[in-house]
Amino acid sequence: MPAVMSLSGERSHPTSRAPRAVRCAPEQVIVVNGSQQALDLCVRLLLDPGDEVALEDPGYMGAHRILAAHGARLVPARIDSDGIRIGELGKKARLVYVTPSHQFPTGVSMSLARRLELLEWARQRGAVLIEDDYDSEYRYSGPPLPAMQGMANGAGVIYIGTFSKVMFPGLRVGYVIVPRQLVKPFTRAKWLADRNTPILDQAALAGFLSEGHLERHIRRMRRIYGRRREVLIETLHRHFGERARVFGDAAGMHLMVRFEDPGVLARASRNNVHLARSGAYYLGEPPAGEYVFVFSRIGERTIREGVKRLAD
Ligand SMILES: Cc1ncc(COP(=O)(O)O)c(C=O)c1O
């Protein structure tokens, strides 16, 4: 799938100049059935049951569950305004799973200083970092920081990308970019798992990329999602004012809201508005009144009406 290989930065490609500054040779890019399969291959190859794995708390359930299913001992590390807290990574973690571009679900973008600190932490311990870069294409303010993989400088970083968010989740195509010494084990494990990601899907996607459609699609969707995001923030502000604190909205397809309004949940159920609590993403105790709003799937009018019904 040559167009995907151009993400390497070692081969430029006319349609892929929005770089994540990933550094690799084409053979280090292994096409998989979405991030979930990439994670599954990582844990099968790199973990033994009982091994410690550090992960973001709150964090992505898809990662929590697959690690737990393989018998990993999960070490939750909280998030501050710079990203994952290094002091909470545990003493013996073999793997660290992070979403540095847009922490899921809090939306924190890991600072450069924290990235460098995390890379150094991993280098000193011989731990492997899994960088899940699931939605960095949709960013609404400020340029994204380059991928950690490109600054690894000797640290073991596995980079996971997916077309789930940038295109649609039913398209089970993603890619994992592994250090050179892991190319053979990963290629073999993928072959053992299911031979290959469907060739027809890959061919259609390769055509889409090489004809420049992906970049156009991203530009268009960024405008649409950006507008929905603005409408959501503006409507929340209008109806709730100080009683709703919005955060994690600089990128992606969701944002977080913390309500200082004990009646909001009752009004949501009375007025038939689905509110998604953030609690499911926490390994520890979740904060009260915190919700995840996915704005990408809902039209502007529905957003306006839904927020109004929450407030009424
Ligand atoms: C943090 C994170 N990683 C990855 C994914 C996508 O996973 P997949 O590529 O398996 O669809 C999601 C989707 O919600 C996600 O939130």
What is the C-alpha to C-alpha distance for residues 75 and 55, in angstroms, rounded to an integer?
6
**Centroid of ligand 1 to alpha carbon of 225 (angstroms):** 18
**Residue-wise pLDDT tens digits, 243-258:** 999 999 999 999 999 9
**Centroid of ligand 1 to alpha carbon of 181 (angstroms):** 26
State the closest ligand 1 atom to the C-alpha of 162, by its place in the atom list counted from 1.
9
What is the C-alpha to C-alpha distance for residues 127 and 193, in angstroms, rounded to an integer?
25
Please write down the HEC assignment for all residues of 183-195: HHHHHHHHHHHHC
The position carrying tokens 């390769």 is 206
Ligand 1 near 103 CB (within 6 A): no
| pLDDT at 282 > cutoff 90 | yes
Instruction: Band the pLDDT of 202: cuts 50, 70, 90.
Output: very high
All residues at 6 or more sequence positions from 169 whose CB lies less than 8 Å from its CB, including other chains: 34
DSSP 262: T
The answer to pTM > 0.75 is yes
Degrees to nearest 5, angle at CA 25 with 23 and 26: 120
Rg over CA atoms, the chain: 20
Ligand 1 near 159 CB (within 6 A): no
**Centroid of ligand 1 to alpha carbon of 269 (angstroms):** 28
DSSP 147: P
Strand partners, 161: 175
| pLDDT of 3 | 31
Ligand 1 near 106 CB (within 6 A): no
Residue 183 structure tokens: 């190319």
Residue 22 structure tokens: 């990933």
| pLDDT of 19 | 63
What is the C-alpha to C-alpha distance for residues 249 and 140, in angstroms, rounded to an integer?
8
Chain mean pLDDT for the chain: 92
Ligand 1 near 156 CB (within 6 A): no
**Centroid of ligand 1 to alpha carbon of 134 (angstroms):** 6
User: If you take atom 3 of ligand 1, which residue's CA is the nearest one?
Assistant: 134
State the closest ligand 1 atom to the C-alpha of 99, by its place in the atom list counted from 1.
1
Ligand 1 near 134 CB (within 6 A): yes
What is the C-alpha to C-alpha distance for residues 268 and 276, in angstroms, rounded to an integer?
10
Nearest to 148 by CA among 165, 133, 138: 133
What is the C-alpha to C-alpha distance for residues 49 and 178, in angstroms, rounded to an integer?
22
| pLDDT at 18 > cutoff 60 | no
- HSE at residue 282, side-chain half, CA atoms within 13 A, is 14
Identify the residue with better confidence: 12 or 269. 269
Min mean pLDDT across 11-20, 67-76, 231-240 is at: 11-20
Degrees to nearest 5, angle at CA 99 with 96 and 105: 120
How many other C-beta atoms can be found within 10 angstroms of the C-beta atom of residue 143?
6
| pLDDT of 56 | 98
All residues at 6 or more sequence positions from 101 whose CB lies less than 8 Å from its CB, including other chains: 109, 110, 133, 135, 136, 144, 145, 147, 251
